[in-house]
Chains A and B, each alone.
Chain A
């Protein structure tokens, strides 16, 4: 039996060999475009830079710099706090909307779903920028209030602060929160709710004992989908954040731009990624444990 023939027999006999063969181009592509670059980023964080030359001797200097300069740690913590807060607000606003579509809308659910996704499909940059237009010194709110004679001087506190960043992000990522929550609410077996009512639960009890626990997977997915990208966001803090609203993404970007210290930027990225992963894992483990305990 020739080796070629044997390979062919193996190919026809095992489904998984055929499956993996079919997936090879996609996997190769993902490895080349994701794993290799992330690995190189990781290596870069152990190097140093002298003007334009990269010194490739292994060193922990970048990580030491991170832990020695309080500004980095403070900024990292602030980014995470802002993202967590923003995720919380986004979920809080999105949940009733998802609930409404899943339980109250009987006809034209698709229309409601499309209505929610449309603003999300208009260039991210311009969605963020729209908030600058609204909140700005000469923006829509200020000029509107002045022309109506309610105020004389433009309000300064609207733009360029962490609140503006949180508001803008809650707007920009709304669809990412509503859709997963909606899907998990839609999946809930309605007969469970009827049973609870028959057994004498009030609507509030019914919500907290049945609907809420069963919608948790969607809430968790939504939380992750909003939290992870917002930590690293660069555009929103830059456009509406001002000096007090800058986040870790802006510092990472400046290391690759103005500061021209790529290894430091790489180290900051690696640290952010590790922190995010750590938070996400803790979050998932604690929620699954809490759910296992309650059931």
Chain B
């Protein structure tokens, strides 16, 4: 039986991951910054688990020149699901720590990896849609140009420099994914008879 139980350190880290994921529901997950000569102070947009904040209204105003769709928080089904998904994974981490079973750690780690990848894919698809699905009657049409912001990092879009980075919540998600992976790896490699 002993061989199926977790290290104390693993259990502590699982609790930390659980708490961190709860926090991630209440802080911004992702930041997108835009910079242009006319906007020396920059424009910022923050994606949370349940909303968008920042200057997205101004960004909407600018997007109409290139025929980009305007951003409205109510258009995202993700916002109704994400807080529960994060809450679910927080609960799963805590449960794994409480049940003290390797199997539960593996399940948590694998499910969270899948969730993380799905999150990034969904985010990318969303950016692709906004960047490519342009109004053909837009005032400014640059042949071959798309305006998909980067997933992570920097990209020049006409006169705007676009930066995209995980905020606190996104950092937590990456951190949790990394910790879970390492913990699962260590627990798996642990000698069967200690």
Whether chains A and B associate is: no
* Residues of B in contact with A (beta carbons under 8 Å apart): none
